[in-house]
Structures are given as C-alpha cells and as structure tokens.
Amino acid sequence: MSERIVLAYSGGLDTSVAIGWIAEATGAEVIAVAVDVGQGGESLETIRQRALDCGAVEAYVADARDEFAAEYCMPALQANALYMDSYPLVSALSRPVIVKHLVAAAREFGATTVSHGCTGKGNDQVRFEVGIQTLGPDLKCIAPVRDLALTRDKAIAFAEEKNLPIVTTKKNPFSIDANVWGRAVETGFLEDIWNGPTPDVYEYTSDPASGIAADEVVITFKEGVPVAIDGKPVTPLQAIEEMNRRAGAQGIGRIDIVEDRLVGIKSREIYEAPGAMALMAAHRELENVTVEREQARFKKTVGQRWTELVYDGQWFSPLKNSLDAFIGDTQKYVSGDIRMDLHAGRATVTGRRSESSLYDFNLATYDTGDTFDQSMARGFIELFGMSSKVASGRDLRLSEGK
C-alpha cells in the first residue's frame, strides 16, 4: 500500500488543491479530514464529496459541534480566557479538537503523515503540529503552503488546469476563520492598521448603532457552565448559538486588535464573538458573587496563563492539564442566575442571584439591621498597616541622621 497522508480539509480552494498537490509532490495517497466546529456554510456530505472529486482516496468527516462547545469552549468560559484581555481564543480553541480528529483518522486509515494548510507566518502551524506531536508522536507533519511552495496563484492555476470542482477567484479581500465561538477576519486592506473596518467585514454582528430595542436575558449557570436561558434548558452548544443570535443582533462582541502572534509578528485582527463575550461577562459577574476573594485573585493569574498556553498551541500540555484542575475546582459554587441587558454593543449585568452566594446583605447594608461590627475595623487597620508603618519609621530615622 502507498504511503498515506491525512489532510485537514476545509473544502475551500487551498485545501482542495492541496490534495492533488501533495499527491504529485510526495507520491502518497491523501485522506481528507473535515471537522465541523460550527463554521456554517456547506454540509459535511458536500465537503466530503468534493474531497473525493479532488482526488482524495478517503474522506473522514466529523460533526464536532457539541464536542467543541462542551469540551473546548466551556473550559475557556470557566477560565474567562481573553488573550491580551481582548481575544476569546476563537481560532486557537478549534485547533486541538481538529487535531484530535486528524490523529484519529491517521490511525483509522494507516497514515504516517498529517498535513495542514497553514502558512509559516501564523500561529496555527504551531497549534496543529505541537498537538499532533503530542497525540501522535510517531506521525510526521507537512504544510503544503510552507513546505511544498503552494502559493495562492499556483493553487488557482492548478485548480483550473485540473478542472477541480471548486470556485476560484484571484481577488478575495479577507482571510476568514469561523466557528461557533466566533469569527476571525484578517488580511486585505485591514493590514493597514490605520484603515477602519468596513461593514462587509462583519457577519455575526449587526451595527451596534442600529437602534433596536434592548433585549433582557437571564442566563442560568451550574458550576460555571450555562444550563438555561430565560428558564429554557440548553446544552453548551445551544447556549452559545442562542447568545450568538441575541447578542449579535445588538452588535456585541466586535473586537479590533493588533495582536502579538506566537511567531513574533504583530498582526491586525478583527473578531466577532457575540455569544462568547456575552457569556463571559455573565460568568465573570457570577464568579464575583460566588468565588472567595483570594481564590478569585489567584484565578486571574491562572486564567491568564491558561489562555497563553492555549493561544500558543499547548492545549495538551501537562501544565495546561494542571491548570484545568485548579480552574475546575474554582467552579464548584459558580451556580446561579445572571440577568443582563443586551443593547447597543454592550452586555450589561443588571441582576444576580445564587444559592451559593458569598454576598451577605446584612453585612453589606448601611441601614438598620447591619450585623457588621465596626469596632473591629480600628484594630484591623493597625495590624494591616503595621509593616509599612515600621518601614516608614526606619526611613525617616535614617534620613534624619544623614
């Protein structure tokens, strides 16, 4: 049997051409792997047939939407994962689930190599290859764009020469990656960072200045995971999809950032993540109510490191697994309801309630019924400031002696 190579297949021009390009360059048979993580567009069956029509000897397709939402997006939500305090890991989260299916397909079809469509400039080459090395250390990796000189103009010429069943165009202004957690847009005129995004950049969100009426929503969480919206039970996937629809209609979740890539390049990116950003705002506020102060402070550090690891392609690393355990423990009491107003690009929390709340009305109130013993404050302040007071006295004494 000929050597076999598994290819991460999207159904678009570049990966469709890569099937024949890889076969001609290596002499290997190509198995196309398409994974649905909620990117929309064509059906998996349509994509599967196109892969076969473009020369793949096998086509492996997987509907991973529920898996992606529950096992990848929900941990990110629990971690409040925002890279550079802005980016909710839209693309970074999808890569490990795709890697998991690429390695599974390699085992199923006896492939020795896994291929992806990334360039040598981006983060995704690292995310794919580090993940593949971790789950399948015996597998090799190749990237046609990076390793086999598959440029876009060559891809278009190859598709036309071979009469491949795909639409080719020499002018596509943006590079777009989408899934249920959000949508990433780059290149084209956006590479000039002085240029503002035009309306055609956006698809998941409406103009926040459109003037539609506010939308009030109540999100119910159990251990840091949304389980109901306005009292209706939802799966993680359904929660994200519903909030994509409702928050997206209000223009929530638009992000325009110059981002520090793993390879050392600064890159201008436009993201749309209405569901992710609205759910994260609700989750953070419920944590404010239910997570103890010192635990919450330390979790911010853990969450930031978790986010950096995932951004850098270390989803399957030992450290990330250890941080998962800490974050999971912090979510034990993150259960309850958050009420929000969605309006004009903002998701504003207006109410919170939880049986595991640490908010004590009788301690917090300034009215009659206050149970806080204010006489304790004086001694607390003396002790709390003692080390600074002693150090200040030392400084004053030594300065006067000069």
Q: Is 175 annotated as a binding residue?
A: yes
CB 52 within 8 A of CB 183: no
Contacts 24+ apart (CB under 8 A), 192-197: 193/258, 193/268, 197/256, 197/270
Among 149, 172, 195, identify where a domain stops: 172
User: Is 119 labelled a binding residue?
Assistant: yes
Confidence band of 12 (pLDDT split at 50, 70, 90): confident
Q: Tell me whether residue 27 is annotated as binding.
A: no
Mean predicted lDDT score pLDDT of the chain: 94
pLDDT for 350-372, tens place per residue?
A: 999 999 999 988 888 888 888 88
Say if CB 250 and CB 342 are below 8 A apart.
Answer: yes
- CATH number at 339 reads 3.90.1260.10
Q: Is 15 annotated as a binding residue?
A: yes
Residue 377 domain boundaries: 372-400
Q: Let me know if residue 310 belongs to a domain.
A: no
What local confidence, expressed as pLDDT, does residue 350 receive? Answer: 98
> Same structural domain for residues 236 and 274?
yes
Residue 18 among known ligand-binding residues: no
276 in the same domain as 394: no
Residue 323 lies in a domain: no
Instruction: Give the tens place of pLDDT for each residue, 175-192.
Output: 889 999 999 998 889 999
Q: Is 333 annotated as a binding residue?
A: no
In this structure, the chain runs to a length of 402
| Strand, coil or helix: 141 | strand
What is the rounded CA–CA span in Å between residue 92 and residue 128? 10
pLDDT at 171 over 70: no
Q: 226-240, 296-310, 357-371: which range is least confident on average?
A: 357-371
**Coil, strand or helix at 289:** helix
On the question of pLDDT at 152 being above 80, the answer is: no
Domain boundary at 118, 145, 172, which?
A: 172
- Of 99-108, 185-194, 292-301, 309-318, the poorest mean pLDDT is in 185-194
Q: Could you report how far apart the first and last alpha carbons of the chain are, in Å?
A: 87
Pair (213, 66) in one structural domain: no
Q: Say yes or no: 132 and 191 in one domain.
A: no
Instruction: Confirm whether 367 is domain-assigned.
Output: no
Cα–Cα dist 25/230, whole Å: 55
14 in active site: yes
- Are 89 and 138 part of one and the same domain? yes
Q: Judge if 213 and 235 occupy the same domain.
A: yes
Query: Which CATH number fits the domain that encloses residue 136?
Result: 3.40.50.620
Q: Which pLDDT tens digit goes with each residue over 90-128?
A: 999 999 999 999 999 999 999 999 999 888 888 999 999
- Confirm or deny that 83 is annotated as ligand binding: no
One domain, residues 205 and 155? no
Q: Are the C-beta atoms of 6 and 33 separated by less than 8 Å?
A: yes
Residue 124 is assigned to a ligand binding site:
yes
Higher per-residue pLDDT: 399 or 349 = 349
Which pLDDT does position 176 carry in this prediction? 87
Q: Do residues 206 and 318 make contact, with C-beta atoms less than 8 angstroms apart?
A: no
Are the C-beta atoms of residues 343 and 214 closer than 8 Å to each other? Answer: yes
Active-site residue flag, 230: no
Residue 13: per-residue pLDDT: 85
DSSP readout, 194-258? Answer: TSPPPGGG-SS---TTS-PPPEEEEEEEETTEEEEETTEE--HHHHHHHHHHHHHHTTTTEEEEE
Residue 325 has pLDDT above 90, yes or no: yes
- Encoded amino acid at 387, one letter: S
Give the pLDDT confidence score for residue 119 in this predicted structure: 84
In a domain, 297, yes or no: no
Same domain, 10 and 33: yes
| Residue 175 is among the residues annotated as catalytic for this protein | yes
Q: How far apart are CA 23 and CA 55, in angstroms?
A: 9
Read off the tokens for 142: 């190749």
Phi, psi of 400 (to 5 degrees): -75, -20
Q: What pLDDT, on a 0 to 100 scale, did the predictor assign at position 192?
A: 95
Res. 315 pLDDT band, cuts 50 70 90: very high
Q: How far apart (Å, rounded) are the C-alpha atoms in residues 179 and 184?
A: 9
Q: What is the pLDDT of residue 170?
A: 61
Q: pLDDT category, 393, cuts 50, 70, 90?
A: very high
- Residue 23 assigned ligand-binding role: no
pLDDT of residue 154: 86
Active site annotation includes 256:
no
Determine if residue 357 is labeled as part of a ligand binding site: no
What is d(CA 88, CA 257) in angstroms, rounded to the nearest whole number? Answer: 12
Q: How far is 69 from 64, CA to CA, in rounded Å? A: 8
- The one catalytic residue in 43, 175, 210, 392 is 175
Element holding 67 (H helix, E strand): helix 65-68
Q: Is residue 320 part of a domain?
A: no
- Is 146 in the same domain as 259? no
User: Which pLDDT does position 263 carry in this prediction?
Assistant: 87
pLDDT, residue 164, reads: 86
Answer whether residue 402 shows pLDDT above 80: no
Residue 14 annotated as binding site? yes
Q: Does 146 lie in the same domain as 12?
A: yes
Q: Are strands 29-36 and 215-222 parallel, antiparallel or unpaired?
A: unpaired
Residues 25-76: pLDDT tens digits? 999 999 999 999 999 988 999 999 999 999 999 999 999 999 999 999 999 9
| Main-chain dihedrals φ then ψ at residue 208, nearest 5 degrees | -65, -15
pLDDT digits (tens, 9 = 90+) for 180-228: 999 999 888 999 999 999 999 999 999 999 989 999 999 999 999 999 9
**210 assigned to a ligand binding site:** no
- 386 assigned to some structural domain: yes
**Would you say 188 is a known binding-site residue?**
no
Domain contains 35: yes
Among residues 126, 154, 172, which one ends one of the domains? 172
Catalytic residue selected from 4, 48, 50, 95: 95
> Do 21 and 103 belong together in one domain?
yes
pLDDT at 169: 62
196: Cβ contacts below 8 Å, ≥ 6 apart: none
Residue 269's CB: how many other CB atoms inside 10 A?
Answer: 19
- Catalytic annotation, pick one of 4, 65, 94, 124: 124
Residue 267 resides in a domain:
yes
Q: Do residues 108 and 149 share a domain?
A: yes
Per the structure, the count of domains in the chain is 3
Q: What is the pLDDT of residue 135?
A: 97
